[in-house]
Amino acid sequence: MKKVAIQGTLGSFHDIAAHKYFESDEIALECCATFNDVFTTIRKDSDAFGLVAIENTIAGSLLQNHELLRKSGAQVIGEYKLRISHSFVCLPEDNLEDIKEVSSHPIALMQCEEFLSQYPHLKIVEAEDTAKSAEIIKEGNLRGHAAICSTAAAELYGMKILKEDIETNKHNFTRFLVIADPWLADEYRRGASVNKASMVFSLPHREGSLSQVLSILSYYSVNLTKIQSLPIIGREWEYLFYVDMKFNDYMRYRQSIDAITPLIKELKILGEYAEGKSSI
C-alpha cells in the first residue's frame, strides 16, 4: 500500500486527484492541514509520496508551493490535471432560502464569484479546505450554513447538494504534482517513460540573458509549457525562473541542459516525469 500525503481532508480535490493518479494502487492518505506539512511528512518518511496543487487555469500558480518544492529537496515524479467542479451544499434539513453563510477555500470562493453574486446577503467565510468546510457544518449541525466543495465531499459527509457546477468558468482545471524523496523517486521512475521536466534557475542580471536561454531550448526542440518568475529575496531585480518543458527526445533535452548551464546560475532540476493525464 502506498502512503500519500495531501493537503486537506477526505473528499477534498487533493483526495480525488490522489486516487485518480494512483488508480491502479491501494493508497493510504495522510491528510495534512497545510502544504508545508505535506513536505514535512515526506522529509520524515522517505517511503511516503506527496501530492500538491501547483497551478489552476483560473487562479494561476500557487507560488508558495513552487518555493516549498525548491527548498524541500523532493523530486517531482508525476502530475495529474483534475477538472474542478464545485457544488453548493448544506445540511439535509436546510433549503436554499435558509442559507445565511457560506464557507470554503479562498480559491474556490473566487472561482464561484458569479454564482455568489446572485446572493449578496450571504456572509462569505474563508476556510482552510473545501471538504473541511462541509465536514465542519455536518459535525457541528450548523443550520443555515453552506459549503462550496466537491460532490464527492457532499456525499461523504451526508450533505444536501443545492446547486452543482457553480464555478464561473467551466474550463477549470487544477494541475497537481506528485512528489517523493529523491531515493523513492529514482526507484519509482526506473524504466518509466519520461517526456517532461520541471526546473528552476536564476540568471545574471544582464540584457538578453533570458532570451538566450529560451532560444537554446527552442533549438533543441524543447517546448516550454510554463515559465513562472519569483523575486529572489534580498537581491533586488533578480529572479528565480520556474520552468516546465516537454520533449520527445530525452537525449536532446539533456543536451539542451548542458548548453544552457554556462548561461545560468543555481540550476536545479525538480523532476523528470511523464506528462500527466487530464480528467474530463
C-alpha to C-alpha distance for 24 and 21, rounded to whole angstroms: 8
Q: Vertex 144, ends 138 and 149: CA angle to 5°?
A: 55
C-alpha to C-alpha distance for 31 and 10, rounded to whole angstroms: 7
DSSP one-letter string for 56-112: ETTTEE-HHHHHHHHHH--EEEEEEEEE---EEEE-TT--GGG--EEEE-HHHHHHT
Residue 5 has, within 13 A of its CA and on its CB side, a CA count of 22
Q: Which SS3 state, helix, strand or coil, does residue 22 take?
A: coil
Angle between helices 209-219 and 250-260 (to 10 degrees): 160
pLDDT (0 to 100) of residue 280: 63
The pTM of this model reads 0.92
pLDDT (0 to 100) of residue 244: 97
pLDDT (0 to 100) of residue 136: 97
C-alpha to C-alpha distance for 165 and 71, rounded to whole angstroms: 37
C-alpha to C-alpha distance for 61 and 231, rounded to whole angstroms: 15
C-alpha to C-alpha distance for 20 and 258, rounded to whole angstroms: 35
Q: Kindly report the number of other CB atoms within 10 A of residue 157's CB atom.
A: 23
CA of residue 135 relative to chain centroid, distance: 22
Strand ranges, E, within 138-222: 145-149, 160-163, 173-180, 196-202
Q: Kindly report the number of other CB atoms within 10 A of residue 41's CB atom.
A: 18
Mean pLDDT by 10 residues, the chain (280 residues): 95 96 94 95 95 91 94 96 97 97 95 95 95 97 97 97 94 95 88 91 86 95 94 86 96 96 93 86
CA of residue 211 relative to chain centroid, distance: 28
